[in-house]
Structure 1
Amino acid sequence: MMLAEEKSQQAYPTLAEVMEELKRVGDIGFPIAAMSLVSYLKNMILVVCMGKLGSLELAAGSLAIGFTNITGYSVLSGLAAGMEPLCAQAFGSRNFSLLSLTLHRTILILLLASLPISLLWIKLEPLMLCLHQNPDITSVASLYCRYALPDLIANSFLHPLRIYLRSKGTTWPLLWCTSLATLLHIPVVIFFTFKLQLGVPGIAISSFVANFNTLFFLLLYTYFYPRVTTSKDTLTLSTPLVMTNRRRSLGSEWGMLIRFSIQSCVGVCLEWWWYELMTILAGYLKNPRVALATSGIIIQTTSLMYTLPNALSASSSTRVGNELGAGSPKKARLSSTVALGLAVVSSMVGLVGTTVGKEKWGRVFSSDREVLELTMAVLPIIGVCEIGNCPQTTGCGILRGSARTGIGAGINLYAFYLVGAPVGIALGFIWELGLVGLCYGLLAAQIACVVSILLVVYYTDWERESLRAKSLVGENYYHADHDDEDEQRTVVKCEESVVVTMIQENHTNKL
């Protein structure tokens, strides 16, 4: 009877534990959600400015943004995500040397990847003409891509630095730096676009200037606040710490990072590319100007709704990774459960917003009657997609935190391209539903994706994942299995890569 009660207590967390986990997720996720909203505001300003320039500029800007997302930003974001499981678990296990090295190596990987990406951006116009895109739209879109080339350098530093800080639970500085850069962005974009009358090139210039400003403010923060404070979220001082001397070779560390980067890149790109593929396919519909303009509004809408799932995904990845690295599989399971519960609630917010405010939202971007009618037809479908998108995105964060990026990539491959793409193309082109049919394809992909990821998370063996984390990050310290109340521990952290741990045993005097 006693054993049964103990097992029951171990299986189900208490209300206090759930509330504590909600607080921890909120501490990490709230600044990320706010930062995503601020970043979205910056991107929305760009699209609104394109709409004010004219329907041609809005269509060309949508095509350019879709192309740069497919070939550039998604690749850099995906490659950077490969450092997430390593950083989160390394911080949880107090392996700060691996944490810093992963940051430097990821920046180098992204800078190297930017070289072939820049060549693609320069060749946008001939490539789009070969694909039989509209010449006028393509000509304006190519200008945007050429002037946006410096943004690749900015993102090569920004993505790794954000993940590095987030893995340590340092998210508020990300919000303040991004907010300050966005405030400066508003007068800059107006100056370049309308005052200097640069048009679309001015919009591209103002975009990378904003990112460089964000990077500058973050570097100032890391310079003036180099030390890391101890986080109770990732280190439980109620259990003794035992030192180990596990080391990895340089080649194995690079190989591990590259493997995670490639897997994460594939997973991120496959999902991201579907949204941009919808923009490209819209150019082949009967009225490409209206379809492309509407798809641009859809991208902005999904980007706004993505702020909550993205925050939950980042929080769950950090919390799960930290707890697994610290040797706390039960807390990692609790973190994943709480994050998924919040994801279900936030998905309802997106559904209500796109259904109730579809007309007013469409008028923010365009006053064209045809564009507005098509926008109001597809936004409710996008809202239904959010019911699957939010838990699915959060589940991907859980998989990243537990270093299972390959599973997420495989799920995205079959869900979006073996399910969603055939359904969307069939409905959009064969049954001639147009952009509405492409959105139904997205809905089919989201359903397949969320079901698969939730099944993977449900059947996760967290004890096994905790053991994998110990092997993965080659931690300097781990939690021992026993609990001795007669031991007093003092952890002194001097620098990010140096931790001095003293275990003082006192068997006669208890604190």
Structure 2
Amino acid sequence: MGSNGYYEPLLVGQGRPELANLSSEEVEEILTTHEPLPYRWWPRLVAWESRLLWVLSWASIVVSIFNFMLSLITQMSAGHLGALELAGASVTNVGIQGLAYGIMLGMASAVQTVCGQAYGAKKYSSLGIICQKAIILHLGAAFLLSFIYWYSGAILRGIGQSASIAEQGQIFARGLLPQLYAFALNCPMQRFLQAQNIVNPLAYIAVGVFLFHILLTWVVVYVLNYGLLGAALSLSFSWWLLVIMTGLFILLSPSCKETWTGFSTQAFKGIWSYLKLTLSSAVMLCLEIWYNQGIVLISGLLPNPTISLDSISICMNYLNWDMQFMLGLSAAASIRVGNELGAGNPKVTRFSVIVVNATSILISIVFSAFVLICRTTLSKAFTSDDTVIAAVSDLTPLLAISVFLNGIQPILSGVAIGSGWQALVAYVNLSTYYIIGLPIGCVLGFKTSLGVAGIWWGMIFGVFLQTVTLIILTARTNWDKEVDKAAERLKMSADEEKLELVDNIA
């Protein structure tokens, strides 16, 4: 349909059917027929794409943020117990819990991949078996990680932390042991539901448990005075509440009637094949998560480690909060890109990439401005120590830069994942983060007077290089060729012999 046909009056608002009712194929035809696209049409098409984007992303954003804020509330309560308690909780969150967090989330990414494949192939009963396989492996990993939690004090001293910080860290880590097993159960169950596009219930559960956790932490820490151990046990209890509510939904909801058919011994068959897939899926995410956590651990080796750890941990918590929001948006970007490539719509794919990146840049500007405006208020939420407050205020400009970069980078990663570039991005992460960014941070932190700011500058440089690399890769992408590659993948997936992976796992 040409410029004088159906679409032009629709786009300029002359009483035709709602723009929201346009299909991707129709928008593809608009973008193909009208190139370059008239400026007056951009607002309507941007609104069309934005609506699809936010329908997909809102629940994922809510789940990411509120699950993360469970730990945030606990760390805030630790900060008000004292600077030493905050340092112990911070180094445990990063060095011990962060290790487990990266491994568990990395393993869980395989659940979403394989369950999504099985769901697309309409092998609904396989989803429950895959979820059970993942739970078995996650519990096995949790058992091995338990030794790290229990002997965390010796481990923290071994990597250079002071004896007083290591002692507080061990108290906190042992209180988090129940949370480790809850996390091992929750990760597979959450991905099991997301693979079926069941996201709204997860958001409601996350918000409800978060509100309960605020009350529980206040009672345990401030009313009953159970200190750092009480704060850790409160977090563990809240995570088990998440597991129980999510499990009950899976067992009782009609939405899961076809995908969850009960426990089965089939979950133990072919588990080695699934383990290999799980390990390979974990690499990219672990490289991403451990980079930021390594920066915090290194700061504990600086002179006056308590202040260094407290200040950078407070800043990192706000950076992580921003990252949780962007990861929800990144997941939606990945879905949009994957869907449109699979549908054979290269123009819509490119348009979607433009819209989601423009959206993330605008959001990042707002978040960065908020950080700069509230530089003192942010630190007071965690601590009443004037020295720590001043240190956080000095780091706030660097935090604002990181917030801006980390608002763009996850979206580009989401586009890369939707396009099937995971292996390439893993190499990019390894080179920009660990070969370049981390050594620069160590040199600036320990060989100059910059201290903790020097370590942060190294982190910024690594993220900047990764972001620039992904921008170049995305800008140079031939989306018509990506559509051809996606079509080949779909052809292979449609071949029954190529579905062997799902059959073996199921």
TM-score (norm 1): 0.80
Shift of 1:94: 4.6
Q: 1:471 to 1:304 in 2, by over 3 A?
A: same
In structure 1, what is the equivalent of residue 500 of structure 2?
none
Tell me if the contact between 2:250 and 2:256 (Cα under 8 Å) persists in the aligned partners. Answer: no
What is the match of residue 199 of structure 2?
Answer: 171
Q: Residue 394 of structure 1: which of 411, 429, 439 is its match?
A: 411
- Is the counterpart of residue 212 in structure 1 residue 240 in structure 2? yes
Distance 1:10 1:267, change over 3 A: farther
Contact 1:330 1:462 (8 Å CA) reproduced? no
CA distance 1:161–1:396, shift in 2 (3 Å): farther
Q: Which residue of 1 aligns with 2:261?
A: none
Distance 1:90 1:388, change over 3 A: farther
Which one has a larger percent strand, Structure 1 or Structure 2?
A: 1
Partner of 1:189: 217
Taking the TM superposition and a 5 Å limit, the aligned residue runs for 1:290-369 are 290-323=307-340, 332-369=349-386
Partner of 2:94: 66
5 Å-filtered alignment, 1:126-275, equals: 126-227=154-255, 255=273, 258=275, 261-275=278-292
2:490 partner letter: K
Contact conserved, 1:84 with 1:400, CA < 8 A, in 2? Answer: no
Q: CA deviation at 1:60?
A: 0.7
Q: Secondary structure at the match of 1:53?
A: coil
Deviates more, 1:91-100 or 1:105-114: 91-100
Shift of the 38–70 alpha-carbon distance from structure 1 to 2, 3 Å rule, reads closer
Determine the structure 1 residue equivalent to 2:9: none
| Residues 324 and 138 of structure 1, relative CA distance in 2, 3 Å threshold | same
Cα gap change, 1:115 to 1:12, in 2 (>3 Å): farther
Q: Quick check: 1:78–1:261 contact (8 Å CA) kept in 2?
A: yes
Render the CA deviation track for 1:110-143: whole Å, top value 9, x for unaligned. 2222222111112211122223321111011111
Q: CA distance change for structure 1 residues 287 and 156 in 2, over 3 Å: closer, same or farther?
A: same
Is 1:82 aligned to residue 110 of structure 2?
A: yes
Structure 1 position 467 matched with structure 2 position 491 = no
Query: Secondary structure at the residue paired with 1:82?
Result: helix
1:381 correspondence with 2:398: yes
Look up the equivalent residue of 1:457 and give its one-letter code.
Answer: T
Q: Distance in 1 between matches of 2:495 and 2:83?
A: 56
CA–CA separation in structure 2 for the residues paired with 1:220 and 1:28: 24
Give the partner amino acid of 1:158: N
Matched to 1:44, the amino acid is L
Answer whether contact 1:28 1:170 (CA < 8 A) is retained: no
DSSP 3-state at the match of 1:170: coil
Give 1:177 shift. Answer: 0.4
The aligned amino acid for 1:392 is Q
**Residue 278 of structure 1 aligns with which residue?**
295
- 2: distance between equivalents of 1:473 and 1:111? 30
Sequence identity percentage: 23
Out of 144-153 and 95-104, give the one that drifted further.
95-104
Counterpart for residue 117 of structure 1:
145
- Is the deviation greater in 425-434 or in 196-205? 196-205
Contact (CA 8 Å) 2:82, 2:383: kept in 1 or not? no
Match of 1:492 in 2: none
2:342, 2:483 within 8 Å by CA — same for their partners in 1? no
Alpha-carbon spacing, 1:302–1:217, altered in 2? closer, same or farther (3 Å): same
Q: Does the Cα contact within 8 Å between 1:167 and 1:318 map onto a contact in 2? A: no
8 Å CA contact 1:388–1:447 kept in 2: the answer is yes
1:412 aligns with one of 429, 435, 457: 429
Q: Deviations over 1:141-183 (max 9, x none)?
A: 1111112112122112222222232333322111100111112
Shift of the 319–8 alpha-carbon distance from structure 1 to 2, 3 Å rule, reads: closer
Tell me the CA shift for residue 393 of structure 1. Answer: 0.8
Contact kept in structure 2, 1:81 and 1:265, CA below 8 Å: yes
Unmatched segments (≥5 aa) in structure 2: 3-28, 258-268, 497-502
Flag the 1:70–1:227 CA change in 2: closer, same or farther, 3 A: closer
Structure 1 range deviating more: 11-20 or 64-73: 11-20
Structure 1 258/96 Cα, relative in aligned 2: closer, same or farther at 3 Å?
same
Which SS does the other structure have where 2:303 is aligned?
coil
More deviation in 101-110 or 24-33? 101-110
Q: How far apart are residue 52 of structure 1 and its match?
A: 1.6
Write out per-residue CA displacement over residues 447-466 of structure 1, whole angstroms, 9 at most, x where no aligned residue: 11111222333315321341
Cα–Cα, structure 1 residues 408 and 454, in superposed 2: closer, same or farther, change >3 Å?
Answer: same
Q: Do the aligned partners of residues 260 and 330 (structure 1) sit closer, same or farther apart at CA in structure 2, a change above 3 Å counting? A: farther
Is the CA contact (8 Å cut-off) linking 2:319 and 2:402 kept in structure 1? no
Q: TM-score normalized by structure 2?
A: 0.81
Matched, 1:36 2:64: yes
Query: What pairs up with 1:424-435 in 2 under 5 angstroms?
Result: 424-435=441-452
CA contact under 8 A between 1:425 and 1:437: conserved in structure 2?
Answer: yes
**Local SS of the residue matching 2:408:** helix
Deviation at 1:221, TM superposition (A): 2.2
Amino acid aligned to 2:251: Y
Q: Is this contact kept in 2: 1:93–1:325, CA < 8 A?
A: no
| Ranges in structure 1 where 5+ consecutive residues have no aligned partner | 230-249, 477-496, 498-511
SS of residue in 1 equivalent to 2:255: coil
Query: Partner amino acid for 2:474?
Result: V
Cα separation, partners in 2 of 1:157 and 1:94, compared to 1, 3 Å: same
Residues 1:19 and 2:47 aligned together: yes
Which has the larger displacement, 457-466 or 116-125?
457-466
> CA contact under 8 A between 2:31 and 2:348: conserved in structure 1?
no
In 2, Cα distance between equivalents of 1:400 and 1:120: 32
Contact 2:91 2:297 in 1 (8 A): yes
Higher relative contact order (CA 8 A, sep 6+): 1
- Cα deviation, 1:432-471, whole Å, max 9, x if unaligned, reads 2111111111110111111122233331532134135425
The Cα shift of 1:330 comes to 5.7
Q: Aligned residues, how many?
A: 453
Question: CA 1:227–1:416 in 2, change beyond 3 Å: closer, same or farther?
Answer: same
Partners in 1 of 2:135 and 2:494 — Cα distance?
22
Contact 2:78–2:86 (CA<8 Å) still a contact in 1?
yes
List per-residue Cα deviations over 1:484-506 (Å, max 9, x = no partner).
xxxxxxxxxxxxx9xxxxxxxxx
Tell me by how many angstroms 1:427 deviates. Answer: 1.0
